[in-house]
Structure 1
Amino acid sequence: MFTVIIPVDLCQRASDITSKAIKIAQSAESSNIKIIIAHNDRAKKYDDFFLKSLAKFEMVNIISDRFYEEGVNSSILRNIAFNLVDSEHVVLLDVDIWPDFNLIEKYSRRITNNCEPFYILPCLYLTKFGSQQLSSNKLTVQQLKSRFYNFSRKEFLHLASPSSVTIMKTKDYKFIGGFDTDFSGHGYEDFDFLVRLLIHYKKIKSTTDFFVNKTARSPLFLEGFRRHLGEVCLETLIEKDMVFHLYHSKPIDSQYYAARPDNFITFASKHSSLIGDIPSKDSTLITKFVELCNQKKIDIQDYSILFDNKPGHIDRFDTFKRRLKFLMNR
């Protein structure tokens, strides 16, 4: 029914990425889910170890070569992996996502039943503590979700909606041209892809504030293009369906993350036609979400956590060292 594609480049976090890829492969094997991994082989020891570690999994197909020389280009890798997809649906996944194939299958079935042409799943980012609890089976997915909606702090960083985790028709990936390989390093290649997908289905409008580039801890407070993309995720959000992003550290002075400003310029330049003359009726998604709860006769009190957008909660840091670094602004 669906195939999962995952880009892998081990130029940083090699051990962490390898262990997470093995976990996904194990889950795919037990669930009989086909995974295609495009691996940029830099001919290092960790690349060889990665390939040997994944070779035993029958449900995992690895395409490995030196596809590019410089920094990480996930767009190239996703497009290469997509070339081997022969299923009706394709799922865009990152190696840091906890594998929940039952959830993915649920939304793949909905696409088959013509409920929606695609789904973008909200993604809850876990702290190191939360990731350890999930990975060691001390907490289940349902228990973690329950803690999130009951205002627990130390397991969670923020909820991303939209995220890059997308379930869609394979023919649509091809129709919109796949990922733009001009995006290199971290950021905005997924927003560009999703904007083009929404344009294809006429689910996006031009507004004066389209390129407001603000992040938020809660998806209800998003503005600009994130708000436009987040609007198509509200149905999924209201069902409390989400994937989990496992914690990883960010390298200091990484060229991968330094690419974000240039990638935003590329993104804004490509979609300049979405700057319109009419402002958004509501700059955030709060009103839309409340209206949806009223339509579905859902108690909005069950979603109180989504109205908490306070930045920089120190109690989200699960160790004294991380709290101290936060207080010292380092």
Structure 2
Amino acid sequence: MVSFIVPVFYKDQDSFIYKRAIELINKFSYHSKIEVIIADSSKNPILQTVASNIKIIHTYVGDKVFSPSKARNQAAKIATKKYLFFYDVDMDYSGEFEDLLFSEIDNILETNKSKFIAIPFLYLTQKGTVIFESNKDLALFKNSFLKGQNDLVESISPNSSAMVMNREYFMEIGEFENIFSGHGGEDFYLIHCLCAHNPHSVKNDDYYTDFKTPFIANAKGFRLYMAYYSLPNFFKNLILVHRWHPRPLSNNFYSQRLRNENLLQEKMKAYDKKFTGLIWQSTTPMPDIEEFIETLMKNYGYDTERYPGFFHYANGVKPIKRPLANKIRKLIIRPREFFADIKFIGRLVQ
């Protein structure tokens, strides 16, 4: 039914990415409904499998910085299933996820109600990752987030590369943009193309703004527009978790973030200009995000006072202290954002 497309890049067998790739191979070996294509872009690839439903292709082309875009595109070309699911090795899910996914594919994609499915995920803390790996209890983490706590879940990401779509439509829409390399940008660019051809409403005036916030109710720009596609899936329990891992300061994969953010702005605007008059064909006003979330919560039996996580932290909960390496990286790469964070945290603790 579906091909999981998984790009990986590791130095050696001691790398946490390599170890998680082994876990992934064990998890999916001989699965009857899932084909897994692992695009191994390591300079010295050592992953192996005998599982008939798992293919490992070597996609290293000598690039100085790993490009998930190139790896995913190559893997998608040899996928044999009707649908593609772009899945990362850091992701995981609970036991009911697969049934929910297959049901959503049948109800949404097979009936052509939508061209793609966007799946939100929860960023787990280091503590949350240890607990999840021992019990796989999604309800614990979902409720922790909704209650405005941050000891198990650091934040939510409504949109990422975690999308499902028809393989032919992926090729038609233009695949991932190969010009992106390193961390960030390529996923939002593909979502932008999908939104442009499948708009849920009129594009917001500040759409091209890349505004980050820990609370979706405060979202702006393209992150706000894109969130409407995935938020209903959160309440259906169609949720992934992103397991914590270190991000070494010396890893040049993460140092590309600012370049990719600037490139994303350029590419989105250029795409819209190229297809002027053919895309963003909607006259429906964009819903107010707070009202949208409140309606979803009410429909699923959540009271916003008891579950404020989409809006703010619970009383007494302070922002997470970032590792020193994260702060140094942000100061070097995005100094404006670094000092904006300092001001934001100062307001919260006052």
**TM-score, structure 1 as length reference:** 0.82
- Structure-2 residue corresponding to 1:26: 26
- Structure-2 residue corresponding to 1:307: 311
Q: Aligned to 1:133, what secondary structure does the other structure show? A: helix
**TM-score, structure 2 as length reference:** 0.78
- Structure-2 residue corresponding to 1:130: 128
Question: Which ranges in structure 1 are unaligned for 5 or more consecutive residues?
Answer: none
Q: In 2, are the aligned partners of 1:122 and 1:163 still within 8 Å (CA)?
A: yes
> How far is the alpha carbon of 1:133 from its aligned partner?
1.0
Q: Aligned to 1:69, what secondary structure does the other structure show? A: coil
- Distance across 2 between alignment mates of 1:146 and 1:5: 29
What amino acid is aligned across from residue 214 of structure 2 in structure 1? R
What amino acid is aligned across from residue 185 of structure 2 in structure 1? Y
Alignment of 1:60-139 (within 5 A): 60-99=54-93, 100-110=97-107, 111-137=109-135, 139=136
Q: Aligned to 1:167, what secondary structure does the other structure show? A: strand
> How far is the alpha carbon of 1:20 from its aligned partner?
1.5
- Distance across 1 between alignment mates of 2:220 and 2:313: 13
Q: In 1, are the aligned partners of 2:11 and 2:42 still within 8 Å (CA)?
A: no
Q: Aligned to 2:309, what secondary structure does the other structure show? A: helix
Q: In 2, are the aligned partners of 1:31 and 1:101 still within 8 Å (CA)?
A: no
Q: Aligned to 2:175, what secondary structure does the other structure show? A: coil
> How far is the alpha carbon of 1:316 from its aligned partner?
4.7
> How far is the alpha carbon of 1:14 from its aligned partner?
5.7
Alignment of 1:1-330 (within 5 A): 1-11=1-11, 15-29=15-29, 31-32=31-32, 33-43=34-44, 47-48=45-46, 51=47, 54-99=48-93, 100-110=97-107, 111-137=109-135, 139-203=136-200, 205-272=202-269, 285-292=289-296, 296=299, 298-301=301-304, 303-308=307-312, 314=318, 316=320
> How far is the alpha carbon of 1:209 from its aligned partner?
0.8
Q: In 2, are the aligned partners of 1:156 and 1:316 still within 8 Å (CA)?
A: no
Cα distance, 1:103–1:239 mapped onto 2, change above 3 Å: closer
What amino acid is aligned across from residue 102 of structure 1 in structure 2? D
- CA deviation string 1:48-99 (max 9, x = no partner): 2xx1xx3233321000143232101000000000001121111011110014
Which aligned segments of 4 or more residues in structure 1 are displaced greater than 6 angstroms? 280-284
> How far is the alpha carbon of 1:176 from its aligned partner?
0.9
Q: Aligned to 2:174, what secondary structure does the other structure show? A: coil
Aligned-pair RMSD on alpha carbons?
3.2
Count of residues paired in the alignment: 310
Q: Aligned to 1:217, what secondary structure does the other structure show? A: coil
Cα distance, 1:293–1:257 mapped onto 2, change above 3 Å: same
Cα distance, 1:171–1:300 mapped onto 2, change above 3 Å: farther
Question: Which ranges in structure 2 are unaligned for 5 or more consecutive residues?
Answer: 277-283, 328-341, 343-350
- Distance across 2 between alignment mates of 1:14 and 1:72: 18
- Distance across 2 between alignment mates of 1:282 and 1:247: 34
Q: Aligned to 2:209, what secondary structure does the other structure show? A: coil
- Distance across 1 between alignment mates of 2:290 and 2:13: 37
Instruction: State the percentage of identical aligned residues.
Output: 21
Q: Aligned to 1:266, what secondary structure does the other structure show? A: helix
- Structure-1 residue corresponding to 2:330: none
- CA deviation string 1:247-284 (max 9, x = no partner): 101111432222122212221112226599xxx97797
